[in-house]
Chains A and B, each alone.
Chain A
Amino acid sequence: MKHNKPLFFGTLIIAVLGVIALSAPLISPYDPTAINQANLLMPPSGRHLLGTDGLGRDILSRMIYGARISLSIGIIAVGIAILVGVFFGSIAGFYGGIADSIIMRFVDIMFCFPAFFLILTVVAILEPSIYNIMAIIGLTSWMGTARLIRAEILSLKEREFIQAEVALGVSHARIIIRHLIPNAIGPVLVSGILGIAGAILLESGLSFLGLGVQPPTPSWGNILIEAKSTLGVAWWITLFPGLAILVTVLGFNLIGEGLKKKIGR
């Protein structure tokens, strides 16, 4: 019963996307890296539903595999961000005092860096690879989560059931992990969903600049590299990846909205 329209449509979109990504080898009509000199820059047709690119590769197949790549980068990057953010945020919130001050100043410092340029710099120094991208995006976007968790824990810490746990002889680590974090994690999950959309955008941007996923591995961002120079003659190379990114980010944002409605914040 989804009278929560944003949640319903968002979940629908992302579910479809997920299925596509998971079943890529099964549904992809061609090998996404198969070069075919005879079919360069063909518009959408019966044989190539979304056309071909400058090397004759089928765009639809590249888009399907690109979904896989973009989605997994987004999810893992956010996973890293949540792990790091929850770690620092819960220590800061629970122990307070010096630990809190040091961690929060560190968060402030991290916020001062324009994330995109920080990522650009790091990627330019290290070689761009999928794993580096995941790690880098994750390690530069954990700060919001840290602040959220810290705020939740600061207030939860005073709740009576925590006092009861202390009276029971439960260790600090257990209190934090088993009792505080599950109660505090709500806003973090919402922010995490929205974060996946952000991570996908970030990855697309990096790939477009040539610093993300490297060809021949397809990513919606790196399909767009070619789009720049062929915009006049091959509109399909620009339209479809752009549309895909749009719809995906929309889907995640709808889920985020729907979740916010659901938990009433």
Chain B
Amino acid sequence: MKTKLLEVKDLKVVFHLDGRVIPAVNGVNLDIAADEILVLAGESGSGKTVSALAITRLLPANAKIISGQAMFLGQDLLKSDAEALRAIRGKEIAYMFQEPTAYLNPVYTVGEQISEAIMLHQSKAGKEARHAVLELLELVRIKEPQRVIDDYPHQLSGGMNQRIFIAMALACKPKLLISDEPTTSLDVTIEAQILDLLVDLKENLGFSLLFITHNLSIARRIADRVLVMYRGRIVEEAGREAIFNSPRHSHTKELIAAYHKIGRIGDGSIFQSKIVLEK
């Protein structure tokens, strides 16, 4: 029985907009074990990103967590104060966003930004830090790390920047990496590379991955377990094969059907037929 790394119970989040209260997450339970890849799937607006932001307390000011518990390493994240959260962020839980270039500071080189992550959570400086940055760049499979380390985000492609972001996220060897649609803005061949990279890194470095996506075929490719969200609730939870072979909830079936129609597979080829079974 694997130990549970993160246990979320009955999470409810609402937004206050123009005086109205809009529910976004309506009682979500989820847990992730150590060393597990959990895919949180659902259409836009289903509440998956809001759930992840709530757990890490990165919600905007007009969002309120009205109930719930998120136990991580013995702490309830939803009740932790700013100091406790800062100690966890980056170090134990790292967060990856959708459009990497926008999430990097435009006036510093990527090397400087990864250095900052390193200096913040490990006590390295100067030459040592630069060395560590180069190692990380190699880890995320960037060719020519010596050149890239001094480039600015706007000089690099989206795929490269996402690798930079992965490097920053892993600089501190977190126990949990939350990836929020990290490949949605990338083209499909790069997407496949990034997915493979994440899975390999997870195997080698031993962290858990919470992967948020609206694309079920990604789940097919990398998940241990899949949670399907619809309108703020978890509607189905199953292992990878079970979700595709025997989906039970109608929404899960809709999501799968949507990918039947277009037939997208991780390698980018487009069919007008059923999903081809992998492995």
**What residue in chain A is nearest B105 (Cβ atoms)?**
A161
Extra contacts besides A161-B102, A167-B56, A183-B105 (9): CB < 8 Å? A161-B106, A163-B58, A164-B97, A166-B89, A167-B97, A169-B121, A170-B116, A171-B86, A182-B108
Contact status of A166 and B87, CB under 8 A, knowing A160-B102, A161-B104: no
Q: Are A169 and B104 neighbours in the complex by a CB distance under 8 Å? A: no
Would you call A38 an interface residue if the criterion is a C-beta within 8 Å of the partner chain's C-beta atoms?
no
Given the known A-B contacts A159-B102, A161-B106, are A167 and B58 also in contact in the complex, defined by CB atoms under 8 Å? yes
In the complex, 18 of the A-B residue pairs with CB atoms within 8 angstroms, ordered by the A residue number, are A160-B102, A161-B102, A161-B105, A163-B103, A164-B95, A164-B103, A164-B104, A167-B56, A167-B94, A168-B89, A168-B94, A169-B87, A169-B88, A169-B90, A170-B116, A170-B120, A171-B86, A183-B105
Q: Is B107 an interface residue (CB 8 A)?
A: yes
- Tell me whether chain A's interface is mostly helix, strand or loop, or mixed: helix
Encode A161-191 as 1/0 by CB contact (under 8 A) with B. Answer: 1011111111100000011001100000000
Whether A160 lies near B99 (C-beta < 8 A) is yes
Q: For the complex, is B264 an interface residue (Cβ under 8 Å from A)?
A: no
Inter-chain CA distance A168–B103, complex, in Å, is: 11
- Name the residue in A159, A167, A182 with the highest tally of chain B Cβ atoms < 10 Å from its Cβ: A167
Closest to A182 in B: B107
Binding site for B on A (CB under 8 A): 159-161, 163-171, 178-179, 182-183
In the assembled complex, the Cα of A178 lies from the Cα of B105 at a distance in Å of 10
- Taking CB as reference atom, which chain B residue is nearest A178? B116
Residue of A nearest to B56 (CB): A167
Contact with A along B185-226 (1 / 0, CB 8 A): 000000000000000000000000000000000000000000
B102 closest partner in A (C-beta): A160
A178 to B106, CA, bound (A): 12
The reply to whether the CB of B91 lies closer than 8 angstroms to some CB of chain A is yes
* Complexed CA–CA distance, A179 and B113 (Å): 10
* Chain B residues within 8 Å of chain A by Cβ, number: 26
Are A166 and B58 closer than 8 Å at their CB atoms? yes
Which B residue sits closest to A162, measured CB to CB?
A: B105
Known contacts A160-B97, A163-B97, A164-B97, A169 near B89 by CB under 8 Å = yes
B117 on the interface (CB 8 Å rule)?
yes
Closest partner residue, chain B, to A171 (CB atom):
B86
- A167 touching B105, Cβ below 8 Å: no
B105 touches A179 (CB 8 A): yes
Report B174 CB to chain A, min CB distance, Å. 10
B168 CB within 8 Å of chain A? yes
From A161, A167, A179, contact of B90 by CB (8 A): A167
Residues of B within 8 A of A178 (CB): 116
Q: CA–CA, A159 to B108, complex, Å?
A: 15
Do residues A160 and B88 form an inter-chain contact, with CB atoms below 8 A? Answer: no
> Which 5 pairs, one residue from A and one from B, show the smallest C-beta to C-beta distance?
A169-B89, A169-B90, A167-B95, A164-B103, A168-B90
Q: Which residues of chain B have C-beta atoms less than 8 A from A161's C-beta?
A: 102-106
Q: Which of B148-194 contact A (CB under 8 A)?
A: 165, 168
| Most-contacted residue by chain A among B107, B121, B165 (CB, 10 A) | B107
The CA of A170 and the CA of B102, in the complex, are separated in Å by 18
A183 to B153, CA, bound (A): 14
- Residues from chain B with Cβ under 8 Å of A167 in the complex: 56, 58, 89-90, 94-95, 97
Contact (Cβ within 8 A) A168 B168: yes
Query: Nearest chain-A residue to B95 (Cβ)?
Result: A167
Report the Cα distance A166→B108, complex, angstroms: 17
The minimal Cβ–Cβ distance linking B57 to chain A, given in whole angstroms, is 9
Of chain B, the residue at the smallest CB distance from A165 is B105
| Smallest CB gap from A170: residue in B | B120
Interface members, chain B 56-110 (any A CB < 8 Å): 56, 58, 85-91, 94-95, 97, 99, 102-108
By a CB distance below 8 angstroms, the chain A residues around B58 are 163, 166-167
Tell me which residues across on chain B come within 8 A of A169, comparing CB atoms: 85-91, 120-121
Chain A nearest CB, measured from B178 CB (Å): 9
Q: List, in ascending order, chain A residues with CB within 8 A of B86's CB.
A: 169, 171
A168 touches B102 (CB 8 A): no
**Bound Cα distance A169, B168 (Å):** 12
Interchain CA distance A160-B100 in the complex, whole Å: 9
Q: Which residues of B contact A179 (CB under 8 A)?
A: 105
CB distance from B176 to the nearest CB of A (A): 12
Contact with A along B112-125 (1 / 0, CB 8 A): 00001100110000
Task: Evaluate contact between B106 and A183: CB separation under 8 angstroms.
Answer: yes
A168 surroundings in chain B (CB, below 8 A): 89-90, 94, 116-117, 120, 168
User: A64 vs B104: C-alpha distance in the bound complex, in angstroms?
Assistant: 48
Do A183 and B107 have beta carbons less than 8 Å apart? Answer: yes
**Bound Cα distance A158, B168 (Å):** 21
CA distance A176 to B90 in the complex (A): 18
